[in-house]
Amino acid sequence: MDDADFEGTLVLERLAEIDKLDDFFDAIDSDDVERATRLMKQAHLDAPTIAVVVHKMRAADGAH
């Protein structure tokens, strides 16, 4: 999973608005689903969007 998986998405826009984009990518790189989820909640993303991201993270399972 890499930056291209999210390029131009609402997820990145919302995380950038709260200045948490780097933290989010750190969580992705570390396969830290809990931290990524917490950051997306802070960015006020809805549950279905968060679920898609979590699914992508788990599907990638370290393949980045």
- Of residues 8 and 43, more confidence is placed in 43
Structure tokens belonging to residue 23? 């933290």
Residues 25, 59 contacting (CB under 8 angstroms): no
Using a CB cutoff of 8 Å and minimum separation of 24, what contacts does 48-51 make? 49/10, 49/11
Tokens of 32: 């830290």
pTM, two decimals, is 0.81
> Cβ neighbours of residue 64 under 8 Å, at least 6 residues apart?
1, 2, 28, 29
Q: What confidence tier does 60 reach under pLDDT thresholds 50, 70, 90?
A: confident
